[in-house]
Structure 1
Amino acid sequence: MPKTLKNILKFLAFLSIGLFMIWLAVKDMTPEQFRDVKNAFLSGNYWLVIPAFIIGIGSHLSRALRWKILISTQGYRPGTLNTFFAVMVGYLVNMGVPRLGEIARCGVLANYEKIPGDKLIGTMIAERALDLVCLMLVFLLCLFLQLDLVTGYLSAEVWPSVRTKLANADATQWLIILAIAAAVVGLVVFLLKKFAASKAAIKMKALLRGVWDGFSSIGKMDGKKLGWFLFHTICIWFQYLAMLYVGFLCLPATRELGFTAALTVLVLGSVAMIVSPGGIGVYPFLIQKTLLLYNIPETTGVAFGWIIWGAQTLLICILGLLSFIWLPIHNKKS
């Protein structure tokens, strides 16, 4: 299948998920609920978008500086502006086709800084793998800080349903479940053995090798570089959290929410950004459902989700387009 057609199909698949989530969020809304959503939008203090934008720019700059440090372990010294522009162009491309932006930012920097693309891809993979580790740590921190809330929700909403289904299952159903589980395990083992030497398996091995090479490059850093690398990693996630906290201040109904609620929104929002292009549809839907845990009305959750998503998307579009335009101008002499 041609790569262009494959990317178009991938975009349409992810976009359909986002549109489905939008439909799911509004299909059962009454006229009164739509009015409440409108009133929630109108009650917002949108001047706070300005400090949120400044914090967002800071997070993107920290990401560019962290990537620059990682690239320096390969023996290359890209310019800070070119690295920042490449990161923003990558984010912009990701709005269309998730994950394609990672290749785009490597291509941009390889073109303007004359760095081998494979070296950049290895550092990019390592950086993304590190982000995944950070996301898991933030998730664990979120659970630890809100253990009572999580256990209360599970005991009230999840466990009764699971317990009822387990109690109603007869011997035949249990045998069917066990047979399906055994068949799945057997199929996985068979596929691993059958396709160990396949093209997909070879690509996966190369991907894992790239991740390992990227992570091992972190270990090659001297004390000063490692310190700055960890500093920017913390800055990225702290600024993400700060953006959401400022977002809470925009609406009267969410102003009392603290950093623990922002942690929960950050985790689920990060997942939403993976599921659909730029999180369209999925991000507001997940945020709306998350805020219900904090007794925020559903209509307010809808408004807040779209405000935060809209602000993040607008910032990426502005910075991405400006970076795309400014790159050839900045590098005109060279």
Structure 2
Amino acid sequence: MDTKEEEKTSKKSSLINKFVKVVLPLALGIAIIYYLFKDINLTELWTVLEDANWGILAFSLIFGLLGNTIRGYRWQLLIRPLGYNPKVSNLNFSIYGGYAVNFVLPRAGEIWRCGVIAKEENIPFSKLFGTMIVDRIFDTITVLCISLFAFLFNMQFFISQLEENEEALNSVLGVLQSPILYISIAVLVIGTYVIFKFFKNNFIVKKITDLVVGMGKDMKAIWKMKTKNRLFLYTIGIWGSYFLYFYTTFYAFEFTEHLGVTAGLIAFALSSISMGVPSNGGLGPWHVAVVASLGLYGVDKLSATAFATGVFTTQSLWVILCGLVGIAALSIRKSKR
């Protein structure tokens, strides 16, 4: 293959990567938003938003910043057992900036913050990437626990909802009883085993294996640290702040202020799960999760959509603003060195 053909192949590959990373998530978000808003009267939606208490919405933003700040302290706690002691302010600025980057490139914020700290604190990127994955594992476990708690706490409510909606019940049972589900799981497990057993010399497989082995060693170091209790407290602090970040907004609207903590917990759990779908800052999937969860408690679609629109817009602008401040702070520090 000559140089020109290599350049063409490289450009084609780059375009495909950009399409997958940028266009697809954005298209998904826009498609979901269109589906959600297609039957909504925008004039009526704006009327609902005008009646919102924007002072309470602004107050809720404090808890979002608090949660992301505590996350910086937890990340520092995960890095220290590996023999490094980065400045918590740099970690915080990178976390703020990372969330802003996620609005441009979904999931790229985590990579960006690891790269920034690797240069700023002279820590190997692979080490930071490992701690970031551990950080996300803690988050995943926490979200699963919150979701399980929300479900168990409201089990009777969900059972009554399913009994009233026979179609939904049959859909749930259909998925659980479908052999396709279990065949897919088996194929995934066997396929993963075959790849790592018989193609272990492949470049990509070796990279993944080395990363997993390195993460295993880092996990052992983290597990042996004497400050595990603080790690647990930081995790509670992060997700307690995030819950208040969301639940406080209930009091900004007349149709949600009476719903209580139980409804807030369900909506928060579903919205947190929706963030696992790759989209720009949660655009689309987050709205659907919130509208659906509020609908369970009798909030009409127009009001629920207005709530999701007002909260998402306010909090997204806040995340972007804090991110720009974080990126600027890191740039200023770098220029002064």
**TM-score, normalising length from structure 2?**
0.85
Structure 2 match to 1:243 = 245
Q: C-alpha separation between the residues in 2 aligned to 1:181 and 1:281?
A: 26
Q: 1:249 to 1:189 in 2, by over 3 A?
A: closer
Q: C-alpha separation between the residues in 2 aligned to 1:263 and 1:255?
A: 14
Structure 2 match to 1:312 = 315
Q: 1:181 to 1:253 in 2, by over 3 A?
A: closer
Q: C-alpha separation between the residues in 2 aligned to 1:66 and 1:76?
A: 14
Bigger Cα displacement from structure 2, 58-67 vs 282-291: 282-291
Structure 2 match to 1:169 = none
The one-character-per-residue Cα deviations of 1:215-254 (angstroms, maximum 9, x if unpaired) are: 33331211xx222211110011101111112110111111
Deviation at 1:51, TM superposition (A): 1.9
Q: 1:148 to 1:186 in 2, by over 3 A?
A: closer
Q: Tell whether 2:75 aligns with 1:67.
A: yes
Q: Tell whether 2:199 aligns with 1:191.
A: no
Residue of 230, 235, 252 corresponding to 1:233: 235
The one-character-per-residue Cα deviations of 1:144-177 (angstroms, maximum 9, x if unpaired) are: 11111111122222566628997xxxxxxx9xx7
Q: Tell whether 2:205 aligns with 1:218.
A: no
Structure 1 match to 2:5 = none
The one-character-per-residue Cα deviations of 1:110-154 (angstroms, maximum 9, x if unpaired) are: 111111111111100111111111111111111111111111122
Structure 2 match to 1:19 = 30
Q: C-alpha separation between the residues in 2 aligned to 1:52 and 1:181?
A: 40
Cα pair 1:73 1:217 within 8 Å, conserved? yes
Residue of 113, 117, 126 corresponding to 2:125: 117
Map 1:242-281 onto structure 2 (within 5 A).
242-275=244-277, 276-281=279-284
| Unpaired runs of at least 5, structure 2 | 1-9
Structure 1 match to 2:213 = 209
Cα pair 1:76 1:115 within 8 Å, conserved? yes
Q: Which amino acid aligns with 1:266?
A: F
Q: C-alpha separation between the residues in 2 aligned to 1:249 and 1:182?
A: 43
Q: Which amino acid aligns with 1:247?
A: T
Residue of 80, 94, 103 corresponding to 2:88: 80
DSSP-derived class of the 1:73 partner? helix
Bigger Cα displacement from structure 2, 229-238 vs 279-288: 279-288
Bigger Cα displacement from structure 2, 124-133 vs 209-218: 209-218
Deviation at 1:273, TM superposition (A): 2.3
Cα pair 2:67 2:242 within 8 Å, conserved? yes
Deviation at 1:57, TM superposition (A): 0.9
DSSP-derived class of the 2:276 partner? helix
Q: C-alpha separation between the residues in 2 aligned to 1:331 and 1:228?
A: 31
Structure 2 match to 1:157 = 165
Deviation at 1:255, TM superposition (A): 0.5
Q: C-alpha separation between the residues in 2 aligned to 1:113 and 1:266?
A: 35
Q: C-alpha separation between the residues in 1 aligned to 2:14 and 2:182?
A: 39
Q: C-alpha separation between the residues in 1 aligned to 2:258 and 2:119?
A: 48
Q: C-alpha separation between the residues in 1 aligned to 2:66 and 2:266?
A: 21
Q: Tell whether 2:36 aligns with 1:28.
A: no
Q: C-alpha separation between the residues in 1 aligned to 2:172 and 2:317?
A: 46
Fraction of identical pairs, as percent: 28
Cα pair 1:122 1:213 within 8 Å, conserved? no
Deviation at 1:181, TM superposition (A): 6.9
Q: C-alpha separation between the residues in 2 aligned to 1:116 and 1:71?
A: 11
Q: Tell whether 2:140 aligns with 1:132.
A: yes
Q: 1:216 to 1:310 in 2, by over 3 A?
A: farther
Cα pair 1:36 1:300 within 8 Å, conserved? no
The one-character-per-residue Cα deviations of 1:1-47 (angstroms, maximum 9, x if unpaired) are: 66753144322111111111111112233x4xx44322210110001
Residue of 17, 38, 44 corresponding to 2:46: 38
| Unpaired runs of at least 5, structure 1 | 167-173
Deviation at 1:259, TM superposition (A): 1.9
